[in-house]
Amino acid sequence: MSVAPDYVGPVVGWRVWSLAEGGGRVRLASHISPSVWEPGQELVAACEVRRRAPLAPWQTRPTGHTAPAARCTCGVHAVRRVGLLATYLPVANRPYSWMRPVVRQAIGRVALWGEVVEGARGWRAACAYPAELWLPQVDGNDQDVAEVGAIAADLAEYGVPVHICDGLTVQAIVQDLAAGSGGLASTTDVSI
C-alpha cells in the first residue's frame, strides 16, 4: 500500500542567510553550518551531528542517518512566519567558529521539499532552494553596504526576485514584512 504525499508542491518558509564571497561572487550561506548555496542547484541537507563512540567516548562518529531525521536537528531549516526570523538574526560582530563576524545578511522565502519534518515554529527539509530575497542596504553595524547593487546582481543569479531595501537593516526588513503592510516603503528590484 502506498501513501499519498502530504504536499504536491514545496513547502515555503522563511530564513536568514549570511552573504559569503567565493570566486569573486557573493553567495548565500548558512549562519549555522558552513553550507554555501549555489545558484541553480538545490541544497541537499546532510546530518553534520557527530555522536560519541560508546566504547571510546573521546572519539566521535557521524550519525549515519539521512537528513532530516525526526529525532535530530539536521536538515535545512525554515520558519513558518517571517516575524519568527527576529529570534534567528545573529548579532553583528559576534564571531562564529567557521566564519567571519556576521555583518552582511539577506532574508527570504525558501522552498523546501523531499522529506520534510514539521516543528513548532517551522520545518526541516531534505532539499531547499531560495524563492525570493530581500537585501538590506544597511548592515548589522548601521553602515551602508558597499556595492549593494553588485551584491544584488550576484544574488540575481539564483533566478529569483531580489529586492534591495533602501536604508533598512535586516532587522527592519523583518519587522516591516511581519507587519504585513503589503510591501516595503522603498525597494529596488534586481534581475539578470
Name the nearest CA neighbour of 46 among 79, 13, 68.
68
Per-residue pLDDT, 5: 55
* For the chain, domain boundaries: 11-41+76-190
Name the nearest CA neighbour of 98 among 48, 137, 136, 44.
48
3-state secondary structure of 157: helix
Name the nearest CA neighbour of 138 among 129, 128, 151, 154.
151
Cell numbers for 62: 557521524
**Taking the model in full, what pTM does it have?**
0.82
CB 15 within 8 A of CB 85: yes
| Cis amide leading into 161 (omega within 30) | no
CB 116 within 8 A of CB 11: yes
CA of 163: how far to CAs of 3, 69, 108, 136, in Å? 40, 34, 10, 9
Q: Which residue has the cell 523583518?
A: 174
CA dihedral 177, 111, 78, 192 (to 10 degrees): -60
Per-residue pLDDT, 124: 95
The Cα 188–Cα 161 span in angstroms is 11
Cell numbers for 58: 573521546
Q: Could you list the pLDDT tens digit for every one of the 192 residues in the chain?
A: 455 555 578 999 999 999 998 888 999 998 877 789 999 999 999 887 656 556 666 665 556 778 898 888 889 999 999 999 988 776 544 444 444 445 588 999 999 999 999 999 999 999 999 999 999 999 877 888 888 999 999 999 999 999 999 999 888 999 999 988 655 556 677 765
Per-residue pLDDT, 59: 61
